[in-house]
Amino acid sequence: MTDTVYVLNGPNLNLLGTREPEIYGHDTLDDIAGALEDRARELGLSIDMRQSNHEGHLVDWLHEAQAHDARAVILNAGAFTHTSVAVHDAIKSIRTPVIEVHLSNPHTREEFRHTSFVGRAAKGTIAGFGALSYQLALEAAARF
Residue ranges for the known binding site are: 76, 82, 89, 103-104, 113
Provide the mask over 104-123, with x wherever binding to ligand DQA is found by CB under 6 A and - wherever it is not: x-x------x----------
Which helix or strand (DSSP H or E) is residue 90 part of?
A: helix 85-93
Number of C-beta neighbours around residue 94 at 10 A = 17
Q: Which of 103, 121, 122, 126 binds ligand DQA (CB under 6 A)?
A: 103
| Cβ partners under 8 Å of residue 12, min gap 6 | 19, 53, 78, 79
Q: How far is CA 113 from CA 61, 87, 110, 122, in A?
A: 23, 16, 6, 16
Active-site residues, by number, are 24, 102
- The reply to whether 87 sits near ligand DQA by the rule CB under 6 A is no
Report the residue number, 66 or 104, with the smaller CB distance to ligand DQA.
104
Which helix or strand (DSSP H or E) is residue 13 part of?
A: none
- The reply to whether 83 sits near ligand DQA by the rule CB under 6 A is no
Please report, as ranges, the residues that interact with ligand DQA according to CB under 6 A: 12, 76, 78-79, 81, 102-104, 106, 113
